[in-house]
Amino acid sequence: MINLKEFIKTELKGWKKQEIIGLSIVFVIVFVNALLVKDNIIAVISAVCGILYTIIAGKGKISCYLFGITSTFCYSWLSYDNGLWGNLFLNMCYYLPMQIAGIFEWKKHLKKETKEIIKTTLTLKERFIFCLIAAAACTAAILLLYHLHDSSPVCDGITTVLSILGMYLTVKRCIEQWILWMIVNGLSMIMWFILIMHGAKAYSTFIMWSVYFILAIYFYIQWSKEIKKTGTSK
């Protein structure tokens, strides 16, 4: 039987002062923006849960998946509403089941004292294979989405493929996930900015991807430091 009070207490451990301040500032920006531009409520919920998922995942806490699953449902609706079929397929057919799988996978690799996951890194050979798979899959996805008249086939195709690989690396606790997320988040920022310029009311979604981009850089640095100390490899 899980002790809910102890679980919450454990999950809140290890937060740095700058992380709390930064997260508070981001949420103020999201909510003020939502009020000023009358943003889509689904976009706001998606942004809040998505940001919480990313920062808690970066800290290696298993509770991140609770927010990730909520964000996945919200973002799927936004993708459907804006004709981003690649992102819709990605979230409902891959992200959702992978996040559920992530809960069980992470439970097997938690540090006893902090209840944080043990971080890992790919070998040089595995990195090379991932690059080849990513290049081939991105090309195929872009061509398919062009055929399906996707509103942003290049960005949607690349972000879809790299997100699939990134989510796999997230479940496997590999630091290389943050490199993929930097690319995905940067392209997603561009994609949603273009959609906003064409009338889509999803300003919170653009802010969300901007925050994701910054967090990917931040946690890549943090994980690098930890892996160098522990020498953990996959």
Domain boundaries, the chain: 17-230
Flag the least confident range among 10-24, 89-103, 137-151: 10-24
DSSP character for 151?
A: S
The answer on pLDDT for 93 being more than 50 is yes
Flag the least confident range among 30-34, 46-50, 174-178, 211-215: 30-34
Average pLDDT rounded to a whole number, residues 125-140: 93
Calculate helix-pair angle for 153-171, 124-147, nearest 10 degrees.
140
Average pLDDT rounded to a whole number, residues 3-18: 66
The answer on pLDDT for 19 being more than 70 is yes
3-state secondary structure at position 112:
coil
Q: Of 222, 214, 186, which Cα lies nearest the Cα of 51?
A: 214
The answer on pLDDT for 136 being more than 80 is yes
3-state secondary structure at position 120:
strand
The answer on pLDDT for 232 being more than 70 is no
The answer on pLDDT for 72 being more than 50 is yes
pLDDT digits (tens, 9 = 90+) for 168-210: 999 999 999 999 999 999 988 888 888 788 877 777 778 888 8
d(CA 68, CA 49): 7
Average pLDDT rounded to a whole number, residues 148-165: 83
Residue 131, amino acid: C
Tally of CA atoms within 13 A in the half-sphere of 58 that contains its CB = 25
**Cβ contact 182:227 at 8 Å:** no
The answer on pLDDT for 121 being more than 60 is yes
The reported pLDDT for the residue numbered 9 is 64
Counting residues of the chain whose pLDDT is more than 90, the rounded percentage is 31
The reported pLDDT for the residue numbered 203 is 76
Average pLDDT rounded to a whole number, residues 152-178: 89
Q: Integer distance in angstroms from the first to the last C-alpha of the chain?
A: 31
The answer on pLDDT for 226 being more than 80 is yes
Which of the four pLDDT bands, split at 50, 70 and 90, describes residue 133?
Answer: very high
Which of the four pLDDT bands, split at 50, 70 and 90, describes residue 211?
Answer: confident
Calculate helix-pair angle for 203-230, 17-37, nearest 10 degrees.
170
The answer on pLDDT for 1 being more than 50 is no
Q: Which residues contact 26 (CB under 8 A, 6 or more apart)?
A: 51, 207, 211
3-state secondary structure at position 138:
helix
Flag the least confident range among 137-141, 162-166, 190-194: 190-194
Flag the least confident range among 14-18, 26-30, 97-101: 14-18
The answer on pLDDT for 24 being more than 60 is yes
